[in-house]
Amino acid sequence: MWVPSREPIYNLNRIIRLQAVLEVLTNQTAAALDLLADQSTQMRNAIYQHHIVLDYLLAEEGGVCAKLNESNCCLQIDDNGKAVKQLTKEMRKLAHVPVQIWGGWNMNWFTSWLPQLGWLRKGLLLFVLFIITLLVLPCFAPCLVVLIRRVTNQIVYQQMMALYQPVKAEDWGP
């Protein structure tokens, strides 16, 4: 059953799993391409070796090209192995997801600019922040009182309902 909205942690875990699968898939594909590039280079070298041997054996008759009566018999096989290896290296680097470590909350944003102020300005700023806190605190006090009342009422209600046991008809007697 598909659920359109899930918990953010669930979605984050799915994304992390998807990243891991993509990284594994990319690394395996890159390894396969590296093997094919190595094989291509080896085949190219073997073909050149065979061509040299054939030219040597057919040297009295003018070489392979003269024996086959071909005027354009230049053998050129491009070696793209290095280019493929560079591409696979970039694929791996692109798909790699570094290990992420939670370092906690960075709270240096508040104190980082304080050393730039003089001691008098720093003291004045902290005093102003203290006064503002004292002025704003009474605005939130009624909300806090209402919240505490609701929570305690809910707890009391749940405990009372836990004590309430409905009486079954069989318990009434004959």
Cβ atoms of 84 and 33 within 8 Å: the answer is yes
pLDDT of res. 9: 80
The band of 31, judged by pLDDT with boundaries at 50, 70 and 90, is very high
117-165 tens-digit pLDDT: 677 777 788 888 899 988 888 888 888 899 999 999 998 888 887 776 6
pLDDT of res. 100: 73
pLDDT of res. 140: 86
Q: Which fold has domain 8-95?
A: Helix Hairpins (1.10.287)
Higher pLDDT, 83 or 100: 83
100-118 tens-digit pLDDT: 777 777 766 666 655 666 7
Segment 34-53 shows an average pLDDT of: 91
Cβ atoms of 26 and 91 within 8 Å: the answer is yes
Higher pLDDT, 174 or 81: 81
Picking from 64, 41, 61, the residue whose alpha carbon sits closest to that of residue 51 is 64
Is the confidence at residue 33, as pLDDT, over 90? yes
Q: For 37-46, 53-62, 103-112, which range has the lowest pLDDT when averaged over its residues? A: 103-112
Average pLDDT of every residue of the chain: 82
pLDDT of res. 34: 93
Gap between the Cα atoms of 161 and 157, Å rounded: 6
Cβ atoms of 39 and 81 within 8 Å: the answer is no
Which range among 36-40, 71-75, 96-100 has the greatest average pLDDT?
36-40
Higher pLDDT, 172 or 46: 46
> Domain extents for the chain?
8-95, 117-164
pLDDT of res. 63: 82
Q: Burial of 64 by CB count in 10 Å (0-12 exposed, 13-18 middle, 19+ buried)?
A: buried
Check the CA dihedral 122-125-130-131 and report its sign. positive
